[in-house]
Amino acid sequence: MRVVLFENRMSGEMRSAVERFGGKVLSAPAMRELPVPHSPGALAFAEALLAGRIDMVIFLTGVGARALLAIIEEAHPREAFLQALSKVVTVARGPKPVAAMREWRITPTHVATEPNTWREVLAAIDAAGPVAGKRIAVQEYGESNEELVQALRDRGAEVTPIAVYTWDLPEDCAPLRSAIETIVAGEVEVVAFTSAQQVRHVLRVAAEMGLEERLRDALKRVFIGSVGPTTTETLRRLALGMDFEPDRPKMGDLVRGLSRHGKYLLRRKRASADAGVDTGRATRVDLVWPADECADCPDPLQNSVFLRACRREPTDYTPIWIMRQAGRYQREYREIRAKVSFLEMCKRPELAAEVTLMAVDRLGVDAAIIFADILLIVEPMGVGLTFNEGEGPAITPPVRDGHDVDALAEVEPAESLSFVAEAIRLTRRALHPAVPLLGFCGAPFTVASYMIEGRGSRDFRQTKTFMYRDPGAWHALLDRLVWAHVRYLDEQIAAGVQAVQLFDSWVGCLSPEDYEEFVLPHTRTLIEAIKPGIPIIYFGTNTATLLKAIKEVGADVIGFDWRVNLGQKWADIGYDVAVQGNLDPVVLFATPSEIRRRAQRILAQAAGRPGHIFNLGHGILPDTPIDHAITLVDAVHEYRPTRDTA
């Protein structure tokens, strides 16, 4: 792929990184830093600091911090200035100003965390206490960071910005102009922006060349990489859009991401542009795939590795998806979640579809699962549902006896849960034509346990007490849940899912006898009632002792948690059912080589037998590094069974 790099200072390093991945580089620096000579602001700041009239200094860049000291050194003794600086509160925006300060033997009082935007600077300051009345100096770069300055002023601080350098166009703009012409001519696949200022400069130079509109049009068919959140914000504000931003604002991560995602996502971008979508403003939900994406496969969905594995047909490689693949471990998820509650995300189909698609884009998994929750169904039954930060779900009032069961409302999912069906329709339209979409619901036991306990539980005392004391009410409750879920899953299937999973997450708290008496008949009824032809996955945790009984529910695929040996358990329950699992989610916190080794061990247990879908043994954990999840997906896809591993 032909890649335009707008970076200036690090252009050499970036070029070699892109070339290592086989890209052809067009280097077109779009800016340079110009020091402000004898900056009066810098000198006034030095005097104020020396006179004890400054309480806090914020350093936003390494280059700027050093430039500031250089200016001040011309008028004041270096040691006196650094001495004064060491006595006030100092804040560094990230590793680069920290490194500059280390040269001065000063440890910053506060350091902003990644991705090192002004928001993290502000968060670091806020965490340390109020700033009202404090006199704060902010070392700036290029143009003023108005948002940060304003936010500090809103908190009652007295803020003085200090300009140390400005941004200008490069001395020689010929490479930039030539790159713009090449992009306009349609001869570029990828452009990479490594600062917000580059974006403004590229548009400015294009405008001077009379090519702005044509450049904007051409970029609708080019893969646009952005190094971090500030650059992304600028690209979005200027309606250029952005196709990939790494999770850490590092050039190496940007280049690696462009190489992994570029080809695949560029096909979608170009097809969308051809279909008349304004890709500069589009979200994932608006995008489409080329119609001939799967021209050689008659039914791309039914022939997908995932559905073939559900039917225990041979596949070229083992399919993988990850439970909770759209969730808090993803930066993009957290960005959306910072603005809306979890329940609102579920209830806004365009957001639910967006995060569902995002997980597939980022991980390259073989199936999508619609973003929703197993507990959404309790609201239309007339029970309150809230998700409190750090506490998990809460159900009020809990169901505690037969009267409470009788009082539950009949659920009409076509009406009360129509947002799920709508999210499925939006997702299915934008999802790759060969990637199946999974629907899901809670299994009757696990949903009942939340309704009775009112929350998650360790020993399920209320649930079991209910079950033992009033079996009649228990069976009535499960019966209601079964039929509500049958209608709910039928809605999901009608809206476009290709398979469904039943989450019976907590069923492992039961003895085999109790499982057979109180749970199995209901779960079996549910599965039998669902439209035939749709593969059904049944998943629970702590089910080692229940698996024989679980086989009787009649699911097409049985999910294992990580506590069992997949090879042994598959042999025990019989190869006439497919299996899913079962890497311990905590393994994703180990090193990439350990992740690969342990994934291979599970794959070797499955021994290439048709009917294994790789997954974690339970949902991915919130702090999991996304790179490690990607490592797992790649390891599973690259694995080929050898004859002697069985």
Residues marked active site are found at 324, 328, 337, 373, 450
> Contact between 362 and ligand CP3 (CB under 6 A)?
no
Give me the least distance between CB of 371 and ligand CP3, in Å please.
5
CA distance 204 to 169: 10
Pairing of the two strands 499-504 and 437-442:
parallel
> Contact between 374 and ligand CP3 (CB under 6 A)?
yes
> Contact between 306 and ligand CP3 (CB under 6 A)?
no
Nearer to ligand CP3, 21 or 387 (CB): 387
Which window, 137-145, 268-276, 325-333, 594-602, contacts ligand CP3 (CB under 6 A)?
325-333
Distances (CA, A) of 449 to 90, 457, 458, 507: 51, 8, 11, 9
Nearer to ligand CP3, 232 or 446 (CB): 446
Give me the least distance between CB of 323 and ligand CP3, in Å please.
5
CA distance 568 to 579: 12
Q: Which of 21, 317, 387, 483 binds ligand CP3 (CB under 6 A)?
A: 387
165 touches 34 (CB < 8 A):
yes
Which window, 311-319, 371-379, 403-411, 524-532, contacts ligand CP3 (CB under 6 A)?
371-379
Nearer to ligand CP3, 12 or 392 (CB): 392
CA distance 336 to 339: 6
> Contact between 5 and ligand CP3 (CB under 6 A)?
no
Q: What share of the chain is helix, strand, coil (3-state, %, to 5)?
A: 50, 15, 35
Distances (CA, A) of 218 to 244, 260, 619: 17, 22, 41
DSSP-assigned beta bridge partners for residue 502? 441, 538
Which has the closest alpha carbon to 377: 231, 269, 492?
Answer: 492
Which has the closest alpha carbon to 553: 575, 573, 580?
Answer: 573
> Contact between 328 and ligand CP3 (CB under 6 A)?
yes
Nearer to ligand CP3, 41 or 413 (CB): 413
The 3-state DSSP class for residue 519 equals helix
Nearer to ligand CP3, 230 or 505 (CB): 505
> Contact between 226 and ligand CP3 (CB under 6 A)?
no
Which window, 104-112, 141-149, 292-300, 366-374, contacts ligand CP3 (CB under 6 A)?
366-374
Dmax of the chain from CA atoms? 88
Give me the least distance between CB of 369 and ligand CP3, in Å please.
5
The 3-state DSSP class for residue 427 equals helix
Q: Which of 337, 551, 563, 609 binds ligand CP3 (CB under 6 A)?
A: 337
> Contact between 369 and ligand CP3 (CB under 6 A)?
yes
| 488-527 binders of ligand CP3 (CB under 6 A) | 503, 505
Locate 526 and state its tokens.
């549910």
Give me the least distance between CB of 547 and ligand CP3, in Å please.
17
User: Which single residue brings its beta carbon nearest to ligand CP3?
Assistant: 505
> Contact between 323 and ligand CP3 (CB under 6 A)?
yes
Give me the least distance between CB of 274 and ligand CP3, in Å please.
31
160 touches 137 (CB < 8 A):
yes
**How many helices and strands (H and E) does the chain possess?**
28, 20
Q: Which of 354, 373, 491, 556 binds ligand CP3 (CB under 6 A)?
A: 373
DSSP assignment string, 473-489? HHHHHHHHHHHHHHHHH
> Contact between 193 and ligand CP3 (CB under 6 A)?
no
Size of the site for ligand CP3 (CB under 6 A): 22
With 0-12 / 13-18 / 19 or more C-beta atoms within 10 angstroms meaning exposed / middle / buried, residue 20 is exposed
Give me the least distance between CB of 440 and ligand CP3, in Å please.
5
Buried b / exposed e along 441-467 (16+ C-beta atoms within 10 A): bbbbbbbbbbbbbbeebeebebbbebb
| 407-446 binders of ligand CP3 (CB under 6 A) | 440
Nearer to ligand CP3, 69 or 437 (CB): 437
Nearer to ligand CP3, 144 or 457 (CB): 457
> Contact between 629 and ligand CP3 (CB under 6 A)?
no
Which window, 186-194, 269-277, 369-377, 427-435, contacts ligand CP3 (CB under 6 A)?
369-377
- Residues 35-74, one symbol each (x = binds ligand CP3 by CB under 6 A, - = not), give ----------------------------------------
Nearer to ligand CP3, 7 or 373 (CB): 373
Nearer to ligand CP3, 257 or 327 (CB): 327
> Which residues lie closer than 8 Å to 597 by C-beta, 6 or more apart?
none
Which has the closest alpha carbon to 329: 633, 630, 632, 623?
Answer: 623
> Contact between 161 and ligand CP3 (CB under 6 A)?
no
> Contact between 348 and ligand CP3 (CB under 6 A)?
no
Give me the least distance between CB of 391 and ligand CP3, in Å please.
7
The number of beta carbons lying within 10 Å of the beta carbon of residue 37 is 8
- Residues 582-621, one symbol each (x = binds ligand CP3 by CB under 6 A, - = not), give ------------------------------------xx--
| Residue matched to tokens 């080692």 | 544
CA distance 605 to 646: 7
CA distance 50 to 530: 77
For ligand CP3, the binding residues (CB under 6 A) are 323-328, 337, 342, 369, 371, 373-375, 387, 392-393, 440, 456, 503, 505, 618-619
